[in-house]
Structure 1
Amino acid sequence: MSFAAIEGQDRVKRILQNSLREDKVSHAYIFTGPAGTGRRAMAKAFAQAIYCKVLPDDACGECLDCRKVEHGNHPDLYIIEPDGASIKIEQIRELQKQFAYRASASGVKMYILQDADKMTVQAANSLLKFLEEPTSQVVAVLLTDNGNALLPTIRSRAQWVPFMPLNKSSMTKQLLNEGHPAVLVQAAVRLASGTGAARELIQGNGFAEIRNLVIQLTKESLSRLPSALLTAQQKLGKGELSEQLPRFLDMLILWLKDMVRLSLGHRDDLVYTDQTEWMTQQVYQYRVEHWISCLEHAVETQKRLRFHANSQLALENILMRLKGV
């Protein structure tokens, strides 16, 4: 995979390609940024470029080394992923053991650490020692959604490479060109930081159904609250969508943002564009402060659910607040 094949992240590409051209590749990098921004693909492209025998600052994709990286069997490249919920010290020790041997003809050994922020304290301390005292020419790439969760001593020994969310309009254009429904694209590009992640959302189980449920429950909450509470219990409480409550809240927050925009007189950049007429009829039943309060409450509920608040009670409170109860 060449750098050009990765969407966006032009600044990251310049940093990495300049280091290759000038023979100043760092011994360690932290690729940090939201999920879906292409961190893993970039790390793989960087590995191919390092080992490529044809091009000085990119991967040709055709030489033997490029193909080995692509197929995951290059002898000098190691990819470490969490073992269960965390990266354990045994995994780092095994990495150090493998790196005690001399690299092949390339002369460079490289490892990619997926979800590096999930290292145990022992694993992180072991990695720190490895970063300080590499046994040979080594390039490390640590991938993480949150680079600040890494030990400060690790951060100080690696080059920080931030990945930015992709432009929403370009993501939208790409996904629409692929034939995905516009109503799903509008939601997905606001919940994902990259085209690939947005595509996975759209194609994933339950995404369209959750969107429809947001529409159903908001309509019922504003007109037949008891019906909304029953539907929520059946569908999200113990029903087939019970594990989708976080996604439901994501989609509900998008709906509430639309209502705030409409109450302020803005009809552009809406997510639920197919519901604009009905939403416009409803929005002026309440003052703008009501919709802002509902939005703030939904965001706060989302945070509390991460700490295991009662999900059914939290959901009922949101629906009652929509009605103004």
Structure 2
Amino acid sequence: MSFQSIVGQERVKQMLQTSIRTDKVSHAYIFTGPSGSGRREMAKAFAMAMYCKVLPDDACGECLDCRKVEHGNHPDLHWVKPDGASIKIEQIRELQKQFAYRSTASGLKMYVLESADRMTTQAANSLLKFLEEPASHVVAVLITDNGQALLPTIRSRAQWVPFLPMARNRMKELLLAEGQSPLLVQAAVHLAAGPEAAREMIQGNGFAEIRNLVIQLARESLSRLPSALLLSQQKLTKGELSDKIGLWLDMLILWLKDMVQLGTGHQQELVFSDQLDWMAREALSRPPVHWITCLEQAVETQKRLRFNANPQLTLEHILIQLKGV
């Protein structure tokens, strides 16, 4: 893993490489941005570049230190992930204990906190004390989906490094060049922030099946609602795809955005372009406000499911809404 091996995030790479080359590395960084935008890979590349004995501002991937970071056994690099639902105070105390010892020949100690916004209050306060008294050769990287969720006092003591989603067209080019399915790529680049995440999505179990199920349930809802309600129960709420309800809703929202476009006379960048004929007919059979209302309802359904609403009832409601009865 090196900076050069990471696709995209050029501004972040340039900033980190310049800081290493000019010996102006901050004592703490917050890598904030959407999941899949390359934050974890960048943290690993940053660590490898910091410890590399060959290159001045990147990782050679060959020296002993690079290989130790790559394999997760460098003695001076500590990677902390949530223990269950959160990062607990015991984990931060163990980190502080490890940092009380002198570093090895590298002279640098580094720690990375994944999902840093999931620290308990006690853990965050303990970390704050750590950050308030930075040792001269300690570097921290806090990875988070939402940097604003961290304590203001932690944010003020770290350098903010925003990660932006890669442009969809660029992601699409990369994935199509790999030979990925064009129809699956078109959906994945709307749901992922970077090519790695999109690739994992496409190759993961059930992605293609969920796309087909969105089409099937949409068609059934518009023509044979009782059949759609039964199918959604068999496949989604009580079937083998019950753990993919969130993905199904994400994909349904993309389908509804297509319907809004078609209903208003547009056909640019359709996700479900292979279904254009019947979708265009259905889109024009109802006023655009119908599809906009359905889209709003689907987004609201996502929120309700996050707060443990009954999946079967919420999905039935959105299918009934599609029909417009």
TM-score by length of structure 2 reads 0.98
Q: Give, in angstroms, the shift of residue 130 of structure 1.
A: 0.6
Counterpart residue identity of residue 318, structure 1: I
Is the contact between residue 68 and residue 74 of structure 1 (CA under 8 Å) also seen in structure 2? yes
* Secondary structure at the counterpart of residue 3 of structure 1: coil
Q: Distance in 1 between matches of 2:38 and 2:143?
A: 10
**8 Å CA contact 1:99, 1:136 repeated in 2:** no
- Name the residue aligned to 2:23: 23
* Displacement after TM superposition at 1:18 (Å): 1.2
Structure 2 Cα separation of the partners of residues 192 and 15 of structure 1: 24
SS in 1 for 2:164: coil
Q: How many residues align?
A: 325
CA distance in 1, matches of 2:2, 2:244: 36
What is aligned with 2:150? Answer: 150
Task: Find the counterpart in structure 1 of residue 296 from structure 2.
Answer: 296
Percentage of identical aligned residues: 73
| Matched residue type, 1:180 | Q
In 2, the alpha carbon distance for the partners of 1:134 and 1:199 equals: 39
Alignment-derived partner of residue 189 in structure 2: 189
Structure 1: runs of 5+ lacking an equivalent: none
- Residue number in structure 2 paired with 1:114: 114
1:13 and 2:13 correspond:
yes
Cα deviation 1:173-201 (Å, max 9, x = unaligned): 11112222111111111000010101111
Task: Give deviations 1:36-59, integer Å, cap 9, x for gaps.
Answer: 111111111111111111221111
1:167 is matched with 167
Map of 2:279 onto structure 1: 279
Whole-angstrom CA distance in 2 between matches of 1:155 and 1:80: 18
Take 1:136 and 1:101, find their aligned partners in 2: how far apart are those partners? Answer: 14
What pairs with 1:31-180 in structure 2 (closer than 5 Å)?
31-135=31-135, 137-180=137-180
User: Post-superposition shift, 1:19?
Assistant: 0.7
Q: After alignment, is 119-128 or 62-71 more displaced?
A: 62-71
User: What is the Cα deviation at residue 277 of structure 1?
Assistant: 1.0
- Structure 1 stretch displaced more, 156-165 or 225-234: 225-234
Deviation at 1:134, TM superposition (A): 3.4
Q: Is 1:231 matched up with 2:219? A: no
Q: Distance in 1 between matches of 2:68 and 2:244?
A: 39
* Deviant stretches of 4+, over 3 Å: none
Q: Is the 8 A contact 1:99 1:135 kept in 2?
A: no
Structure 2 Cα separation of the partners of residues 216 and 313 of structure 1: 19
Q: What CA distance in whole angstroms lies between the structure 2 residues aligned with 1:68 and 1:307?
A: 42
- In structure 1, C-alpha distance between the alignment counterparts of 2:179 and 2:144, rounded to whole Å: 31
Distance 1:301 1:105 in 2: 54
Q: Secondary structure of the equivalent of 2:112?
A: strand
Gaps of 5+ in 2: none
Contact 1:100/1:135 (<8 A) preserved = no
SS in 1 for 2:228: helix
Q: Hey, what's the Cα distance between the residues in 2 that align with 1:9 and 1:181? A: 25
Q: Deviations over 1:102-137 (max 9, x none)?
A: 111221100011111111111111111011123552
Tell me, in whole angstroms, the C-alpha distance in 2 between the residues paired with 1:137 and 1:56.
17
What CA distance in whole angstroms lies between the structure 2 residues aligned with 1:64 and 1:230? Answer: 59
Q: Secondary structure at the match of 2:4?
A: helix
* Cα RMSD (Å): 1.0
Question: What amino acid does structure 2 have at the position aligned with 1:230?
Answer: L
Q: What is the SS of the residue equivalent to 1:112? A: strand
